Amino acid sequence: MKVPAAGKDRKFVVFGAVDYTTGQVIWQVSDNKGEEAFTTFLDHLAATLPAEEPVVVVLDNVGYHKSHKLRDWWRQANNRFQPFWLPAYSPQLNLIERLWRYVKDKLSCHRWWNDLDRLIQATETLLGRLTVRFHPTEGMTFRLEENFCRSA
């Protein structure tokens, strides 16, 4: 007897950064991970942030962050973008991991998504409405305009 499978497992990737000055979440959706997609995100980041200010980009040690293509990108953007490499196997030091946990909690809302396009749309809506602050004196806050679980 054959049991039908639930369907093909479909995924998407979200690259993101938080502007610590404004709390703005800068993000981009991609079909996959890798140096091409990450380079595209860095170009998006460069176009979004003010050109006159230097930017420190906090990164984990995933392989494509240090690929030859990305090393060239870092060298070309050296006057503006400075990578800050976290130690390997230390997600607790990367503050953006807290944002990803928050987003995953809000999007799951005890439900399964059977429509990838709707999940991508919900992810974009949530990230577009967030303001994130990591200041230690105030505590970590995620401000959302409305109850996202109700509106998704």
Residue range 46-91, pLDDT digits in tens:
999 988 889 999 999 898 998 999 999 999 998 899 999 999 888 8
Domain ranges of the chain: 13-145
Quickly name the fold that domain 13-145 has: Nucleotidyltransferase; domain 5 (3.30.420)
Return the residue matching tokens 């990230």: 127
Query: pTM for the whole thing?
Result: 0.81
- Phi, psi for 83 (deg, rounded to 5): -75, 140
> 77 is written with which tokens?
């953007």
Length of the chain as a residue count: 152
Distances (CA, A) of 19 to 23, 63, 113, 140: 5, 24, 30, 14
Structure confidence by residue, pLDDT tens digits, 4-29: 666 677 789 999 999 988 889 999 99
Tell me the HSE value of 10 on the side-chain side, using a 13 A CA sphere: 14
